[in-house]
Amino acid sequence: MNNNWFIEYCNMSKDEKELYREFEMDDSNKMKLQTYKRLYNAVTLMSLDYKQQIAALPQGIPVPDEIALTFDDEAIAFMETLYKNNMLSTNDCVLIKKIDNKLLEIGEKQDEDLWTLYALEHSKLWEECRKYARLLLSSLHNIE
Protein backbone atom coordinates (compact mmCIF):
# COMPACT_ATOMS: atom_id res chain seq x y z
CA MET A 1 0.00 0.00 0.00
CA ASN A 2 1.12 3.51 -0.75
CA ASN A 3 1.45 6.03 2.04
CA ASN A 4 2.54 9.07 0.06
CA TRP A 5 -0.36 11.02 1.54
CA PHE A 6 0.95 10.30 5.06
CA ILE A 7 4.50 11.42 4.33
CA GLU A 8 3.21 14.56 2.61
CA TYR A 9 0.86 15.22 5.52
CA CYS A 10 3.67 14.88 8.07
CA ASN A 11 5.71 17.50 6.21
CA MET A 12 2.90 20.08 6.08
CA SER A 13 2.53 23.11 8.30
CA LYS A 14 -0.24 23.07 10.89
CA ASP A 15 -2.48 25.25 8.69
CA GLU A 16 -1.84 23.08 5.65
CA LYS A 17 -2.69 19.96 7.66
CA GLU A 18 -5.98 21.48 8.75
CA LEU A 19 -6.95 22.33 5.17
CA TYR A 20 -5.83 18.94 3.89
CA ARG A 21 -7.91 17.11 6.52
CA GLU A 22 -10.93 19.27 5.76
CA PHE A 23 -10.92 19.21 1.97
CA GLU A 24 -8.66 16.50 0.57
CA MET A 25 -8.37 13.60 3.00
CA ASP A 26 -10.80 10.72 2.56
CA ASP A 27 -12.53 9.08 5.52
CA SER A 28 -10.32 6.01 5.38
CA ASN A 29 -7.16 8.07 5.75
CA LYS A 30 -8.78 10.18 8.47
CA MET A 31 -9.37 6.97 10.44
CA LYS A 32 -5.78 5.85 9.88
CA LEU A 33 -4.55 9.22 11.07
CA GLN A 34 -6.69 9.00 14.23
CA THR A 35 -5.34 5.52 14.89
CA TYR A 36 -1.76 6.75 14.44
CA LYS A 37 -2.42 9.64 16.82
CA ARG A 38 -3.75 7.25 19.46
CA LEU A 39 -0.63 5.11 19.17
CA TYR A 40 1.58 8.21 19.30
CA ASN A 41 -0.16 9.44 22.46
CA ALA A 42 0.21 6.04 24.15
CA VAL A 43 3.92 5.95 23.35
CA THR A 44 4.28 9.52 24.59
CA LEU A 45 2.64 8.60 27.91
CA MET A 46 4.98 5.63 28.28
CA SER A 47 8.02 7.82 27.51
CA LEU A 48 7.33 10.46 30.15
CA ASP A 49 9.29 10.56 33.36
CA TYR A 50 7.51 9.51 36.54
CA LYS A 51 6.30 12.96 37.61
CA GLN A 52 4.99 13.72 34.13
CA GLN A 53 3.16 10.39 34.00
CA ILE A 54 1.49 11.10 37.34
CA ALA A 55 0.48 14.58 36.17
CA ALA A 56 -0.88 13.26 32.85
CA LEU A 57 -3.47 10.97 34.42
CA PRO A 58 -6.45 11.66 36.68
CA GLN A 59 -5.94 11.30 40.41
CA GLY A 60 -7.26 8.18 42.06
CA ILE A 61 -6.52 5.71 39.30
CA PRO A 62 -3.78 3.06 39.46
CA VAL A 63 -1.25 4.89 37.28
CA PRO A 64 1.07 1.96 36.40
CA ASP A 65 -1.93 -0.16 35.37
CA GLU A 66 -3.38 2.67 33.30
CA ILE A 67 -0.09 3.30 31.48
CA ALA A 68 0.26 -0.40 30.63
CA LEU A 69 -3.39 -0.75 29.57
CA THR A 70 -3.21 2.39 27.43
CA PHE A 71 -0.11 1.08 25.71
CA ASP A 72 -1.76 -2.28 25.09
CA ASP A 73 -5.04 -0.75 23.88
CA GLU A 74 -3.51 1.92 21.67
CA ALA A 75 -0.05 0.74 20.55
CA ILE A 76 -0.17 -3.05 20.52
CA ALA A 77 -3.71 -3.15 19.18
CA PHE A 78 -2.97 -0.81 16.25
CA MET A 79 0.61 -1.75 15.42
CA GLU A 80 -0.16 -4.32 12.72
CA THR A 81 -2.72 -2.14 10.95
CA LEU A 82 -0.41 0.87 10.91
CA TYR A 83 2.50 -1.28 9.74
CA LYS A 84 0.42 -2.74 6.89
CA ASN A 85 -0.47 0.82 5.86
CA ASN A 86 3.22 1.82 5.84
CA MET A 87 2.74 4.25 8.71
CA LEU A 88 5.14 2.35 10.98
CA SER A 89 8.52 0.92 10.09
CA THR A 90 9.81 -2.52 11.00
CA ASN A 91 12.06 -0.85 13.57
CA ASP A 92 9.05 0.95 15.09
CA CYS A 93 7.32 -2.41 15.50
CA VAL A 94 10.43 -3.93 17.08
CA LEU A 95 10.48 -1.15 19.67
CA ILE A 96 6.75 -1.53 20.36
CA LYS A 97 7.31 -5.26 20.91
CA LYS A 98 10.26 -4.55 23.23
CA ILE A 99 8.06 -2.32 25.38
CA ASP A 100 5.32 -4.94 25.35
CA ASN A 101 7.81 -7.64 26.37
CA LYS A 102 8.97 -5.50 29.31
CA LEU A 103 5.36 -5.01 30.39
CA LEU A 104 4.80 -8.77 30.09
CA GLU A 105 7.92 -9.33 32.17
CA ILE A 106 6.56 -7.00 34.86
CA GLY A 107 3.27 -8.91 34.81
CA GLU A 108 4.86 -12.37 34.76
CA LYS A 109 6.90 -11.68 37.87
CA GLN A 110 3.61 -11.77 39.77
CA ASP A 111 5.00 -9.14 42.10
CA GLU A 112 2.32 -6.63 43.02
CA ASP A 113 5.07 -4.26 44.16
CA LEU A 114 6.03 -3.74 40.49
CA TRP A 115 2.61 -2.16 39.91
CA THR A 116 3.05 0.53 42.57
CA LEU A 117 3.92 4.19 42.18
CA TYR A 118 7.23 3.48 43.88
CA ALA A 119 8.09 0.87 41.25
CA LEU A 120 6.94 3.14 38.45
CA GLU A 121 9.45 5.71 39.69
CA HIS A 122 12.35 3.42 40.68
CA SER A 123 12.08 0.07 38.86
CA LYS A 124 14.63 -0.74 36.17
CA LEU A 125 11.90 -2.51 34.18
CA TRP A 126 9.71 0.61 34.05
CA GLU A 127 12.75 2.71 33.13
CA GLU A 128 13.51 0.33 30.26
CA CYS A 129 9.95 0.80 29.01
CA ARG A 130 10.52 4.56 29.05
CA LYS A 131 13.85 4.21 27.26
CA TYR A 132 12.34 2.16 24.43
CA ALA A 133 9.37 4.53 24.20
CA ARG A 134 11.71 7.52 23.86
CA LEU A 135 13.61 5.75 21.09
CA LEU A 136 10.34 4.99 19.36
CA LEU A 137 9.14 8.58 19.68
CA SER A 138 12.29 9.79 17.96
CA SER A 139 11.29 7.88 14.82
CA LEU A 140 7.53 8.55 14.88
CA HIS A 141 5.98 11.57 13.20
CA ASN A 142 4.28 14.11 15.44
CA ILE A 143 1.18 14.74 13.37
CA GLU A 144 -0.16 17.68 15.36
Task: Give the residue extent of every domain in the chain.
Answer: 28-139
> CA–CA distance from 87 to each of 18, 96, 110, 111 (Å)?
19, 14, 35, 36
Q: How far is CA 109 from the centre of its chain?
A: 24
Nearest to 75, CA basis, from 53, 97, 91, 55: 97
Cα–Cα distance for residue pair 138/67, rounded to 1 Å: 19
Q: What is the pLDDT of residues 45-102, one digit of tens each?
A: 999 999 999 999 999 999 999 999 999 999 999 999 999 999 999 999 999 999 999 9
Say how many C-beta atoms besides its own lie within 10 A of residue 73's C-beta.
12
Quick check: 42 and 73 in contact, CB under 8 A?
yes
| Residue 142 pLDDT | 81
Q: Who's near 36: CB < 8 A, 6+ residues apart?
A: 6, 78, 82, 87, 141, 143
Q: What is the pLDDT of residues 114-128, one digit of tens each?
A: 999 999 999 999 999
- Residue 2: pLDDT band by 50, 70, 90 thresholds? low
Q: What is the pLDDT of residues 18-52, one digit of tens each?
A: 999 999 999 999 999 999 999 999 999 999 999 99
pTM over 0.85: yes
